[in-house]
Amino acid sequence: MKGVHAKDEDLKFYNWNAAMNTKTKAGSQGICASGWRIPTDADWKKLEGYFYMSQAQQNKNNAYRGKEQAALLHEGALTLNC
């Protein structure tokens, strides 16, 4: 499938078009299993909030956000705010 990048046998990364499987709206099922869906920006904001991201940073549009939170995930230093 175009847009699929296999890193190992069980793990694949999909670009937006491949993940959406011809759908155009976030929150659609796309290629997800039954009962699952592609996350919306609101879903990501909720998750980001658990990693102490400020509301102002969560509300940035068309910008990378969460560099510090990604570092926490990468380092395995998980402390959630929930």
Condensed to tens digits (0 to 9), the pLDDT of residues 61-76 reads 877 888 777 777 666 5
Q: Which residue has the tokens 């990364």?
A: 13
Nearest to 80 by CA among 47, 58, 50, 45: 50
pTM: 0.64
Condensed to tens digits (0 to 9), the pLDDT of residues 21-70 reads 888 787 888 888 899 998 888 998 898 888 888 899 888 887 788 877 77
Residue extents of the structural domains in the chain: 1-38, 40-82
